[in-house]
Amino acid sequence: MEATRVGSAIAEGRYAFPIIEGIHLIGLAGAVGLLMLIDLRLMGLFLTQVPPRQLHRQLLPYVLGGFGLVILAGVVLLSSEATTVFASPPWPFKMAFIVLGGANALYFEFVSSRRPDALPSTGRLPVSVRGAGAASFVLWILVIVCGRLIPYITTWG
């Protein structure tokens, strides 16, 4: 990956890496930040006057757009230092938490949220919905923590 034209251009360019890293962080704030706001609503801790289905449906396109930016910038960053990243212990954990976060989101989207009375407009939400929100919130926190630890924990030893 590092030998590709994109990978070597970023590794050799002086400002390419911080610019793309900045875009990665901005995408995170948009995608994960907005997703965490939806999670807080599912947990009944944020914008409780707004029907959860409305907030979820209306923010989802922006969350997905942000994730597109994060993934694109992340892959480009990875291509410039793949050897270092793959050797770093937090990397597999980050990937595992992304997979779990994605699976939790897909299960909520296609199973939990489609059950009758899963997302009432007012009042306390079912345990399964609050649990899905809490799991998503914690998993994406862990993704970011592991991502930030990659430059600090470089080997398993």
Partner 1 sequence: MGLNPVSLSHVLYAIQKSHFAHRLAESNHMLVACLQIVHVFGFIFLLSPLLLIVLRVFGLILRDQPLQEVLRQPRTVSLTGLAVTLASGLMMFLTAPLHYYNNWAFDVKMLLLLASLVIYAALFVEIIPRQSAHPRLAKVAVVVAVVSWLSVCMAARAIGFVA
**Residues near partner 1, by CB under 8 A:** 14-15, 17-19, 21-22, 25-26, 28-30, 32-34, 36-37, 46-47, 49-50, 54-55, 58-59, 62, 141, 144-145, 148-149, 152
What residue has token string 């590709």? 4
Q: Which is nearer to partner 1, 20 or 129 (CB)?
A: 20
d(CA 91, CA 4): 21
CB of 46 to partner 1, least distance (A): 6
Which residues lie closer than 8 Å to 135 by C-beta, 6 or more apart? 104
Q: Which is nearer to partner 1, 22 or 92 (CB)?
A: 22
Indicate the helix (H) or strand (E) that contains 141.
helix 127-149
Q: Which is nearer to partner 1, 46 or 93 (CB)?
A: 46
Among left, alpha and beta (phi > 0; psi -120 to 50; other), residue 44 is left
Maximal CA-CA distance, the chain: 55
Q: Which is nearer to partner 1, 7 or 27 (CB)?
A: 27
CB of 145 to partner 1, least distance (A): 6
